[in-house]
Amino acid sequence: MTILDSILMAIGLAMDACAVSVGAGASGRSPGRRATFRLSFHFGLFQFLMPIVGWFVGSFIADRIAAVDHWIAFSLLAFIGIRMIRAGMHPDSTTRRTDPSKGWSLILLSIATSIDALAVGFSLAMLQIDIWQPAVIIGLVTAAMSIAGLRLGQRLGVRLGSRMEIYGGIILILVGLRILAEHLLF
C-alpha cells in the first residue's frame, strides 16, 4: 500500500470525524484550544487504534461485528445528536452545559466515528498489508480534519447562534444515517 493510498483512505475515514467536529464546534459547547485538542486528539487516537485492533483481531470477529457495526455507529451518533437537538431547543436546561469534548460524549463520539476504521483494519489483515503506516496516517489526517471541522463549526456557531446546536445534532444524525444506508444499501 502506497502512502498516497493511505492518505486517500485516511481522508475517506476522517470525513465522519470532520462532520461531527463541525457539529461540535457549531454547538458552542466546545470552546477553546483545550476542547479542540481533546476532540481532535481523541478522534485521531481512536482512528489510529481501531484499524490496529481490527487488523489484530482479523477475520475472527469480522463476520460477527460486520452485521451490526453500522447499527452501533448510527445509535451512538443518533443518541448524541438527539441530546444536542434537545439542548438547542431548551437553551436554559442543564444539558446545554454538556461539552462533547469531555467525558462519555467524547468517548462515544470517538467510537462512533472510528468503527469504519475497525473494518479497514480487518480488510488490511485479510490482504496481508502491514497496518502501522496506514494507521498512523489515518490518525494524523483525522486529527487535522477534526481541527478544521471544529474551527469551521465555531465560526458558523458565532454567526448563527444557538440554532447551530440543533443543526449540529441534525448533522450527527445524518452522518449516522449515511453510515447505516451505506451498509444496508451497498
How high is the mean pLDDT in each 10-residue block of the chain (186 residues)? Answer: 88 87 79 89 96 84 71 81 78 59 88 86 80 96 95 80 72 83 82
The pLDDT of residue 132: 95
The pLDDT of residue 134: 94
Cell numbers representing residue 56 in the block: 489484530
Q: pTM for this one?
A: 0.74
User: CA-CA distance, 68 to 16, in Å (whole number)?
Assistant: 18
Q: Are 113 and 43 within 8 A, CB to CB?
A: yes
| Burial status of residue 65 (CB atoms within 10 A of its CB: 0-12, 13-18, 19 or more) | middle
The pLDDT of residue 94: 46
The pLDDT of residue 162: 61
